[in-house]
Structures are given as C-alpha cells and as structure tokens.
Amino acid sequence: MEGKILTNIYNFNAGPSALPKSVLLEAQESMFNYKNSGLSVMEMSHRSPLYEEIHFNSLNKLRSLLSVPDDFEILFLQGGASLQFAMIPMNFLTPGKQAAFVLSGSWSEKAWKEASRIGETYILASTKDEMYRRIPEVNFDSCKENTAYIHLTSNNTIFGTQWPSYPIKDPNIPVCMDASSDILSRSIDWNQMDLVYAGAQKNAGPSGITIVIIRKSLMETANSHIPTILSYNTHAKSDSLYHTPPTGSIFILGLVMKWIEEQGGVEAMRLHSKTKGSLLYQTIDESDGFYVGHATESSRSSMNVTFNLRNEQLEKQFLHEAKAKGFVGLNGHRSIGGCRASIYNAVPLSHVESLVEFMKNFQKTHV
C-alpha cells in the first residue's frame, strides 16, 4: 500500500496542503470498512453511534491538543474561513457598534470588506502601504468605545508574516482571530482570545470543515435575528450536528489530531516549524541577495516562507526547474507572484532539507 503514494514529490502547497502520509494510509484503510461495520465513513448516518464516536473523538482531541477551556465551545462548521468573515459580523456587529480590523494581509482585508457589508467597521492598524511586509504595531487601548470586537489574522498566508505575540486584551472588547494557516502550530492563550476560527485545509485536515472555537459568554450575546444556520448558538446547542456535517472531513481531521498527539502535541509542532522555517530563512539570508525574503525579519512566518529572485524571468526558471525535480506548489499566490514555500505541520523536515539543497544548487548554476 505504501507504494501507491509517490515518494518523489515534495508538497509545499499553500492549501489544501500536505497531510501526514500515515494519516492518508489510515484513512484509505478505515474509510473502506470502518471498524468492520462493512460501511465506509462516508456511507454511514451522521445520527448513528458509529459516526457519533468519530465526531466526538475529533472534537475532544482538538480540545485537548489546544487546551481549550470548558467555557469555550468548539464548533465544526462548513463554508470555510470565508463564511466566518460574514458569520462573525452577523452574530456580533449589531447596530450602534463598530468592528475594529487589523489589516495584515489579503485575508484580513477580505474579512474587513465582508464585515463592512453587514455593519460599521474601522481600521485599527494596517501595513498595506508597506506591502504587508510586517505585522502592524497595535495597541488595543486605542479602540473606539462602541467596538463590538477586534479582528486579527494570526498568520498571513499570502505575504508570509505571522504575529510573534499578541497585544494584551482589553477585558471589555472581544478578540476574534482567523488562525486558518497556523492553527495547531503553536499554543493559544485563551485569556487573550474570544473566538478563533480556521478552515481546516492548511494545518488541521482536509477542506470542507471549519473549526470555530468560541467563548460561551460571547456566544450568549449574539444577535438572534439572523438565519438559524448562521447562528453560532444553533450549532452549539446540537454539538455541531444541527444538519449533516462533512463526516469524511471530520474523520480525517480526527486522524490528523491523533498524528499531532503522537508527534508530541502542539509544542512539538511549534519546534518542528521553527526548525523548518529557520533552515529556509537561513538559506535566503546567506544567499547574498540571490533570494530576497518578502517579510521583515521580526514578522517572518514559520508557516509560509515568501521570497523573490532578482527578476521575474529567473523566478520562472526557478519554479520551472523546481517543478521538474518534484517540488509542488512553490509559486507565490496569484495576487503577488514570487515564490512561497508553505511548511505546515505535515511537511516533513526532509522535504525542507531537499528544498534547501535545491535552492543552493540553483543559485550556484544561475549566478
């Protein structure tokens, strides 16, 4: 069975992205005949005890890995992180209030634009005019009085920046964070957060499932005059089984959680990412300007490493040769170009080492 998975491919895709090989193999086996039930996971009723076991196992493992306290609800929703751009304001941005946005990249801009269609918003800080090379300096004390919540993006997938640490929270203003591209790669201080969400397809599992972790006391303040399916309370009341959940995705997410546990948990993932990131950034820094990193050093992401070569033609050549050697997904996002290596949890260190070797060789032959 091992042989069915190509081993000469290095997956640096930005999302959907690499999954642990052992997870794929286990999924392949248990999908077909789950626990000798004669049913694959995708063929069973979401109301059956067999599925319920899968569902609650995934929820519980996620809770344990991220040390989510009991006063937070964990929801499994659909619609991706993008639906959360709309759902958060629909639930909490009521008339007379304003939502504060920290703009640190394209996804935070999208979140801000979507909220602005629903209610009043303002920009608390932005590094847009610096091409989002760094995380803005921000002080939560400077929020307006009628602020409904502050919205942050923990890791900027497209520009390759990540918050090294967060400002101290004002106890009266909820903080909502899009952690789509770095969830489960470092711990979360739940005293500083009220709602954390993530599309699973970068660091937590396959696409089709969105994680929302929300403080119960915040959820109780939500607007109840919105469609039932868009209300957090609806999903919380029914343990994310209000309607048919994406059962297959939730199953695989559970396998990824088990894999992270086996690797030593979130702290092990953090150290692993740091090692992988350092290798790449060191290669960039020691290239005498052959490779130029996009992010300012203090804002560098340990999930998405973005860089340029001296001109577009050389970048094209780099991507072309990389592709021929089995490196997948190294092209930058279509909106900004350049190169990007996404080194999420499931990307093995050996793949990063191979990339580094390729980068050094490419430089030698193209000076």
Ligand X SMILES: *Cc1c(COP(=O)(O)O)cnc(C)c1O
Which residues contribute to the annotated binding site for L-glutamate? Answer: 47
Spatial separation of the C-alpha atoms in residues 358 and 193, rounded to whole Å: 40
Regarding 162 and contact with ligand X (CB under 6 A), the answer is no
Span from 55-63, 132-140, 176-184, 357-365 in contact with ligand X (CB under 6 A): 176-184
User: Residue ranges for the binding site for pyridoxal 5'-phosphate?
Assistant: 81-82, 107, 157, 178, 201
DSSP code of 170? P
Span from 77-85, 87-95, 166-174, 309-317 in contact with ligand X (CB under 6 A): 77-85
Among 15, 20, 136, 167, binds ligand X (CB under 6 A): 15
Spatial separation of the C-alpha atoms in residues 360 and 163, rounded to whole Å: 29
- Give the nearest distance from C-beta 299 to ligand X in angstroms: 15
Regarding 10 and contact with ligand X (CB under 6 A), the answer is no
Residue in the structure block whose two tokens are 């929801």? 75
- Give the nearest distance from C-beta 158 to ligand X in angstroms: 8
Residue 133 structure tokens: 């090379």
CA angle 96–98–103, rounded 5-degree value: 170
Of the two residues 82 and 223, which places its CB atom closer to ligand X in the complex?
82
- Give the nearest distance from C-beta 48 to ligand X in angstroms: 28
Q: Three-state DSSP class for 151?
A: strand
Regarding 107 and contact with ligand X (CB under 6 A), the answer is yes
Neighbours of 166 (CB within 10 A): 17
Of the two residues 121 and 210, which places its CB atom closer to ligand X in the complex?
210
Among 178, 188, 233, 240, binds ligand X (CB under 6 A): 178
Spatial separation of the C-alpha atoms in residues 101 and 178, rounded to whole Å: 12
Regarding 34 and contact with ligand X (CB under 6 A), the answer is no
Q: How far out from the chain centre does Cα 175 lie?
A: 17
Q: Three-state DSSP class for 90?
A: helix
Kindly list the strands in the beta sheet with 195-199, ordered across the sheet, starting from the edge strand earlier in the chain. Answer: 72-77, 210-215, 195-199, 175-178, 147-153, 98-103, 120-126
Among 20, 80, 205, 254, binds ligand X (CB under 6 A): 80
Alpha helices per DSSP H over the chain = 21-32, 49-65, 80-92, 106-116, 216-219, 232-237, 247-263, 265-285, 312-324, 349-365
Of the two residues 107 and 362, which places its CB atom closer to ligand X in the complex?
107
**Residues labelled catalytic:** 107, 178, 202
- Give the nearest distance from C-beta 156 to ligand X in angstroms: 7
User: Residue ranges for the binding site?
Assistant: 47, 81-82, 107, 157, 178, 201
The CA R_g of the chain, rounded to the nearest whole Å, is 21
User: Contact 126/136 with Cβ under 8 angstroms?
Assistant: yes
Span from 41-49, 70-78, 173-181, 215-223 in contact with ligand X (CB under 6 A): 173-181
Span from 34-42, 60-68, 76-84, 277-285 in contact with ligand X (CB under 6 A): 76-84
Span from 74-82, 277-285, 320-328, 353-361 in contact with ligand X (CB under 6 A): 74-82
DSSP states along 228-267: GGG-HHHHHHTTT-SS---HHHHHHHHHHHHHHHHHTHHH
Regarding 205 and contact with ligand X (CB under 6 A), the answer is no
Closest to 330 measured CA to CA, from 11, 9, 6, 17:
11
Regarding 232 and contact with ligand X (CB under 6 A), the answer is no
Give the number of residues in contact with ligand X, rule: CB under 6 A: 12
- Give the nearest distance from C-beta 80 to ligand X in angstroms: 3
Among 58, 104, 127, 157, binds ligand X (CB under 6 A): 157
Regarding 208 and contact with ligand X (CB under 6 A), the answer is no
Regarding 114 and contact with ligand X (CB under 6 A), the answer is no
Q: Which residues bind ligand X (CB under 6 A)?
A: 15, 80-82, 107, 153, 157, 178, 180-181, 199, 202
